[in-house]
Amino acid sequence: MSGSITKDEFARMITGAAAMIRARHAALSALDCVAGDGDHGATMLRVAQQLEKAFAPGGEEDLRACLREAGWSVLGVDGGASSSLFGIFFGGMADAPADAGATGASQLAAMFEAGLATVRKQTKAQPGDKTMMDALVPAIAALRAAADAGKGVKESLYDAAAAARTGTEGTRHLTARYGRARLLGEKTRGHEDPGAASMSLIFEGFYDGFGESKGESGNA
């Protein structure tokens, strides 16, 4: 696919992500029981609801405006640091350069990179710290690599989702270094980080949702 990502295409990605969260929210809460309050799944359900609301038909048609609204809405979700960082990520996407790229894949990569840059201003967590960054950072790196290699949006999102899943699975072997979980030390090993798991599900949903977009070309 070439050209800019439209609001409708991104809305389908959001719909796909929300569906994935709804299907797995109980598993997310179970992961959170290891070192948290066990409410991460419920928090992510509220995050999904706010994201869908920001991209609902009849609202803003400008993609950047929708992303800003989504960011602010998710920031308002009562869910601790995780929901705040998700809100910062989505809102930060709106700060991508207007001339982000000639293809939808490169534009999407630039948007996600802008979101990541905003998140990095709020947390010092890095891959290896057993946080959402273990899924987010490799996903965006894979998306950029795919776009630079000339892949279309659908293929690029597939690569991003696969990288996020691999990063999340890797958190099983890590010790938490941030949040309440860090107090448990080695006891956090053997379980996926719920924030990383949520981010992985979102990227998987992005891929599924984009596949529902109308008018895909063979390169998408």
Does residue 218 fall inside a structural domain? no
Q: Is the pTM for the entire model greater than 0.85?
A: yes
Between 69-83, 143-157, 161-175, 203-217, the lowest mean confidence (pLDDT) is in 203-217
Residue type, 24: R
Q: Which residue has the tokens 């179970």?
A: 30
Q: Which residue has the tokens 């979700």?
A: 77
Number of domains in the chain: 1
Q: What is the CATH number of the domain that holds 75?
A: 1.25.40.340
Does residue 134 fall inside a structural domain? yes
In which domain, by residue range, is 69 found? 7-210
Does residue 1 fall inside a structural domain? no
Does residue 171 fall inside a structural domain? yes
Q: How far apart are CA 188 and CA 185, in angstroms?
A: 6
List, in order, residues 6 or more apart from 17 with CB less than 8 Å away: 48, 51, 201, 202, 203, 204, 205, 206, 209
Per-residue pLDDT reduced to its tens digit, 124-149 = 999 999 999 999 999 999 999 999 99
Does residue 75 fall inside a structural domain? yes
Using the 8-state DSSP alphabet, how is residue 4 labeled? P
Given this model, what pLDDT does residue 178 score?
72
Give, in order, the Cα–Cα distances in Å from 187 to each of 45, 167, 191.
27, 19, 9
Work out the pLDDT band at 181, boundaries 50, 70, 90.
low
Q: Which two tokens stand for residue 162?
A: 């696969």
Does residue 216 fall inside a structural domain? no
* Span 180-191, average pLDDT: 69
Does residue 215 fall inside a structural domain? no
